[in-house]
Amino acid sequence: MEGKTVYSAIQPSGNLTIGNYVGSIRNWLTMQDEYDCYYAMANMHAITVRQEPSELRRRTLELAALYIACGIDPEKCTLYVQSQVPQHAELAWVLNTVTYVGEMERMTQFKDKSQKHADNINMGLMDYPVLMAADILLYQADFVPVGQDQTQHVEITRDIAIRFNNRFGETFTVPKALILKQGAKIASLQEPTKKMSKSDENPNASVYLTDDKDTILRKFKRAVTDSGNEIRFAPEEKAGVSNLLTIYAAFTGKTMEEAEREFSGKGYGEFKLAVGEAVADKLAPVQAEQARILKDKAYLSGVLSSGAERAFKTARKTLSKVYRKVGFYQGE
Ligand code: ATP
Ligand code: LTN
C-alpha cells in the first residue's frame, strides 16, 4: 500500500520491557519499508507522572538509541522527540475543545494511573489521550501500531477526528490501531493474568531489555506457571505457560505450532531455560548496539535533529489547516 502513514510512540518513562518490544517495536520494524513511518519519544506524555528531570533526559536518548539498535532505520523513518515539535501541544489545545471531560474520566488508563498516583492526579494525566490524539492526527496517520492496552486511546482519537471533521469539514485522516494477533499483551512473569509493565514494583515480574543473561535466565526460572506438566498454548487455562510460549515464538520467529511441537513432552524447567536463552541471545546484540550508539553523541543528535525537522514540516502543514478551519487569524 503506497502512500500510507504510520505513527507510534513510547514514553521514556522507565526501562523498556520485552512487552514493549514484542507488542510495539517489533511490529514497527515490519512497516518501515512499506510506509511513511513516524516514531516518537513521547516525553510530554511521560511528565504526566513525576519524572526526575536528569533521568528523563537520559532515558529519552537511551530510547532513541534503542529504537535504532532494534533495527529502526532513521534513514527510512522519522525518529524524533515529541517536545521538539511544538505543534503537538498546540493541536492538543484545539482538540481539547472538542473533547468532553466525561470521556476522559472514563479512560481505563486514567483510572488506573489515578489510583496508582493518587497524590498527583494532574490535568495532564487526564488530558493524556488528547495529546496522543494530537500526535497521531498531526501526521494524518492511517495506522497506529500499539499494544492492546492502547486500543482505547486510538478509539478516542478516531472519535475526536470524526467529530472535528463533522464540525469543521474534512481535516483529519481517521486512523486505525494495528494490534498484533499474538504478543499484543505480554503478561507479567509473576502474575500471568496481568500485563507486564515497565513500572511494576516487583523486579521479577518484568524482563527489561537491559537485563543481562544471568538476570534473564533467573527471572524465567522463577516465572509462575501451573501445577500441570503440559506445554501447550491455552491462555485461559494455562496463562503462565501460554505467555512463555508467546515470548518464545516472538523472540525466535517461530510459529506457535512450531513452539508447541518443540516442547511437547518436555519439562517446565527445560522449557523455561530455553525461553530465557532465546530472549537473552536476541537481546545481547541489541544491548551492545545501543551502547555503541549512545557513545556516538554526534550521530544521535544528528538523527534527532533531522527527525524533528522532518516532523515539524508535516506537523506545521496540518496545524495551519486546523487553524484555518477553526477561524484563527494567521496573518495576511
Ligand atoms: P507503564 O507501565 O509505565 O504505563 P508501559 O510498559 O505500559 O508503561 P508504554 O510506554 O505505556 O509502556 O507503552 C509503549 C508501547 O508498548 C505501547 O504500544 C504499549 O501498548 C506496548 N506495551 C506495553 N506493555 C506491553 C505488554 N505487556 N505487552 C505488549 N505490549 C505492551
Ligand atoms: N500512550 C502511548 C504512547 C504514545 C503513543 C502516541 C502511541 C504517545 N503518543 C501516539 C501511539 C501513538 C503508550 O504506549 N503508552
Do residue 61 and residue 158 come from a single domain?
yes
Specify whether 236 is located in the same domain as 102: no
Ligand nearest to the backbone CA of 27: 1
CA of 93 to the centre of ligand 2 (A): 18
Choose the residue to mutate in 5, 132, 151, 173 for probing ligand 2, maximizing ligand atoms within 8 Å of C-beta.
132
Total domain count, the chain: 2
For ligand 2, the distance from its centroid to the CA atom of residue 23, given in whole angstroms, is 12
154 Cα to the center of ligand 1, angstroms:
14
pLDDT at 183: 81
The reported pTM is: 0.94
Confirm whether 301 is domain-assigned.
yes
Q: Is residue 142 part of a domain?
A: yes
Mean pLDDT value of segment 67-88: 97
172 and 52: one domain?
yes
Q: Are residues 169 and 257 in the same domain?
A: no
Q: Rounded mean pLDDT of 93-120?
A: 96
Q: Is the pLDDT of residue 86 over 90?
A: yes
Q: What is the pLDDT of residues 117-165, one digit of tens each?
A: 999 999 999 999 999 999 999 999 999 999 999 999 999 999 999 999 9
pLDDT confidence bin for 21, thresholds 50/70/90: very high
Residue 332 pLDDT: 82
Q: Is 89 inside any structural domain? A: yes
Ligand 2 pocket residues where CB is under 6 Å:
7-11, 42, 45, 132, 135-136, 144, 146, 150, 153
pLDDT at 126: 97
Say yes or no: 279 and 316 in one domain. Answer: no
Distances 108 to 91, 103, 105, 150, 175 between C-alpha atoms, Å: 23, 11, 8, 10, 20
C-alpha to C-alpha distance for 277 and 279, rounded to whole angstroms? 5
Q: Which residues line ligand 1 (CB under 6 A)?
A: 10-11, 13-14, 17, 19-20, 22-24, 146-147, 149-150, 184-186, 195-199
> Tell me: the pLDDT tens digits for 183-225?
889 999 999 999 999 888 898 999 999 999 999 999 999 999 9
Annotated active-site positions, please? 113, 195, 198
What integer is the mean pLDDT of 9-23? 93
Q: State residue 181's pLDDT score.
A: 83
Find the helix packing angle between 239-252 and 268-295, rounded to 10°. 50
Residue 1 has pLDDT above 80, yes or no: no
Structural domain includes residue 226: yes
Nearest-atom index, ligand 1, CA of 147: 20
Segment 20-35 shows an average pLDDT of 92
CA of 223 to the centre of ligand 2 (A): 28
Tell me, what's the pLDDT at 128? 98
Nearest ligand 1 atom to the CA of 113 is 4
Report if residue 114 sits inside a domain. yes
Q: 29-40 pLDDT, tens per residue?
A: 989 999 999 999
CATH code of the domain in which 242 resides? 1.10.240.10
- Asked whether residue 18 falls in the same domain as residue 151, the answer is yes
**79 part of a folded domain:** yes
| pLDDT computed for residue 2 by the predictor | 61
Residue 208 lies in a domain: no
Do 217 and 105 fall into the same domain?
A: no
Domain interval for residue 302: 5-179+297-326
pLDDT band with cut points at 50, 70 and 90 for residue 79: very high
Q: By percentage, how much of the chain surpasses pLDDT 90? A: 93
Q: What is the pLDDT of residue 199?
A: 82
Instruction: Measure 321 CA to ligand 1 centroid, in angstroms.
Output: 32
| 132, 32: one domain | yes
pLDDT > 70: percent of the chain:
99
Q: Which of 5, 45, 63, 197 to mutate to test the pocket of ligand 2 (most atoms within 8 A of CB)?
A: 45
Q: Residue 123: is it exposed, middle or buried by C-beta count within 10 angstroms (0-12/13-18/19+)?
A: exposed
Confidence of residue 78 (pLDDT cuts 50, 70, 90): very high
Same-domain status, 286 and 301: no
| Same-domain pairing of 286 and 229 | yes
In this structure, are 285 and 322 located in the same domain?
A: no
Instruction: Please tell me the predicted confidence (pLDDT) of residue 96.
Output: 98
The residue to mutate among 59, 149, 242, having the most atoms of ligand 1 within 8 angstroms of its beta carbon, is: 149
- Atom nearest to 149 CA in ligand 1: 20
Distance 16 CA to ligand 1 centre (A): 8
Establish if 204 belongs to a structural domain.
no
Q: Are residues 274 and 305 in the same domain?
A: no
Task: Among the bound ligands, name the one nearest to the CA of residue 21.
Answer: 1
**CATH number of domain containing 317:** 3.40.50.620
Mean pLDDT of 231-239: 95
Confidence of residue 182 (pLDDT cuts 50, 70, 90): confident
